[in-house]
A and B are shown apart, each in its own frame.
Chain A
Amino acid sequence: MFADKIGMCLAIPGKIIKIKNQLAIVDFQGMKKEINISLISAKIGDYVMVHAGFAIEKMDKDNAKEIKAYLKNEV
């Protein structure tokens, strides 16, 4: 997934749609992937920044628009 675009410090925002213990299914604009959420406190519906298989921080809902624009233009 995005393998050619992944650098060590590049992270990607997505939305949590399912949670099971430490793992969540995160939706990256239609592409869904299992992500480890043990580094944050998150719930379904949260937007998170994902790096190397882990959500590293939650993003404000107010930024949702910006995230979507980011996904369209940058990833």
Chain B
Amino acid sequence: MKYKKILKNIQEKAKIIRRPIRLMELCGTHSETIAKYGIKNILPKNIKMISGPGCPVCVADQSDVDIITGLALSGIPIACYGDSANIPGNLGSLENARQQGAEIYIVYDISEALKISKKNPDLIFWGIGFETTAPMTAWGIQNGLKVFSSHKIFPPAMRALLRNNKIKIDGFINPGHVSVIIGAEIYKKFKIPQVVAGFSATDVIKAIDMLLDQITKKEKKVENEYARLVQKEGNKKAQKLISKVFEAKNARWRGLGEIKNSGLKIKKKYKNQDAEFIHRELIAKIKKNIKNKPSVCHCGEVLQGIIEPKNCPLFRKVCTPDNPQGACMVSREGSCNVEYRYG
């Protein structure tokens, strides 16, 4: 009943607004909910949902994928979260490297990586993800784990999206669990309608309704639909842990290019656990030998909401979850993977 009532409100507001509205869900888990429950199909015609860059595996920079695969192929044991092993790069993926004899460990959480590193001190954990996984990696580093950090922070990417004239967005559905860590207040600096939302279908349509409400009233504020979990200021312990171990650096995002202060670099204090320092000579050699293979993968444009997965010539033909040509098909949170499974 609740669901139907919210949908009715959305329809009424869409009629009042009349013009086409583009709302971006920033988190890959929201994209999954939207696809799984067919939310795009039940929305009024002038309300369009587009997927943003909120899938960490998808936005991983090609050069990072090549470095970690190069390290693995050079005999360095690597641990990573599941999806990360399948991102294709110029040297193949970590999974390809494993098939060639490299030592790759897929872990569910950082304590597993830490256990492996006790027996295998050369182990490098590939830290990937936003503010939701960075505190765990920071904890791992404090407890002796060696890490190659591809961690990214979310708000700078939102600023980059808003500055890009090619992308027209009328409102953001902000990530739920990133916001558990960083809080809801931090988004106030962006002058666009925003709603922090949970991950059930009702959460998402409620967030859409709240965004349309702001648009009809010409408001640009941050509302918190996920207040049952997301605090105004976020999880301070987790924030403190991140800033103890990491510092901001410029980072490259697939599709969005280099974004100022959007990456997390391991602080000098922990340099003997930083793969970028430990293996600096090997990394320089890997970088020098990389030849970029031409690819027609459109992941970068999909990530910015410029095209939809179905507009890519590879989609469903040569690019499938079993044989991904690009990062957006690899992760279960990737737009192409989600569209493949539910589209």
A36 to B136, alpha carbons, bound, how many Å? 9
Verify B111–A3 contact, CB threshold 8 A: no
A6 adjacent to B238 (CB under 8 Å):
no
Given contacts A8-B132, A9-B132, A59-B229, contact A53 B109 (CB under 8 A): yes
Number of A-B pairs, beta carbon distance below 8 Å: 101
Interface size class of B (residues with CB under 8 A): 35 or more
Find out whether the CB atom of B81 lies under 8 angstroms from the CB atom of A52. Answer: yes
Contacts of A3 in B (CB 8 A): 82, 108
A73 to B199, CA, bound (A): 12
Given known A40-B235, A49-B229, A59-B229, contact A8–B181 (CB-CB < 8 A): no
Q: Are B111 and A9 in contact (CB under 8 A)?
A: no
- Taken together as a complex, chains A and B put the C-alpha atoms of A31 and B108 apart, in Å, by 16
Give the CA-CA distance A53 to B238 in the complex, in Å: 14
- Cβ of A9 and Cβ of B175 under 8 Å apart? yes
- Interface check B32, CB cutoff 8 A: yes
Verify if B56 is at the interface (C-beta below 8 Å from A).
Answer: yes
* Residue A63 at the chain B interface, CB threshold 8 Å: yes
A11 at the interface (CB under 8 A from B): yes
Tell me the complex Cα distance, A8–B53, Å.
13
A25-55, CB < 8 A from B: 36, 38-40, 49, 51-54
Check A52–B110 contact: CB distance below 8 A: yes
Contact of A52 among B55, B133, B332, B333 (CB under 8 A): B133
Contacts of A52 in B (CB 8 A): 81, 108-110, 132-133, 136
Given known contacts A8-B128, A9-B177, A53-B136, what 5 new A-B pairs fall within 8 Å (CB)?
A39-B238, A54-B136, A56-B132, A57-B231, A70-B200
